[in-house]
Amino acid sequence: MNVAAAIPQPVRLATLPRLEPGTVSAVDWHLLSEPEGRRLRELGLDEGVEVELLHRSSFLGRGPVACRIGRMTVALRRHVAAAIHVLPNPAS
């Protein structure tokens, strides 16, 4: 049995399957501009917060994504969502 295969690996929020909740495991703050990082912090997004990807824009694969952070639904630019690492919840 491959133990590494049984341990869930973090994925980027931009690639998380739709409607599958996960928990933020890390944020690459250095990939974000100062205003983008401040906005995420103001929204309460940090390690340990539960998120769920609701919708991906199909605009050339680069459009924004809609996600749920706690009880809020917010739109994030694709590169911002790509800086957020999420562990899919095992129950989902």
Pick from 85, 84, 65: which is nearest to 75 by CA? Answer: 65
Element (H, E) at 72: strand 72-76
pLDDT score recorded for residue 62: 79
State the CB neighbour count (10 A cutoff) for residue 86. 28
pLDDT per position in the chain (92 positions), as tens?
Answer: 676 667 778 999 999 999 999 999 999 999 999 999 999 999 999 999 999 999 988 777 778 999 999 889 999 999 999 999 999 987 65
Residue 1, pLDDT score = 61
Fold exhibited by the domain 11-88: SH3 type barrels. (2.30.30)
Burial pattern 40-68, b for ≥16 Cβ within 10 A else e, equals: beeeebeeebebbbeebeeeeeeebbbbe
CB 37 within 8 A of CB 67: no
H helical segments located in the chain: 3-6, 34-42, 78-82
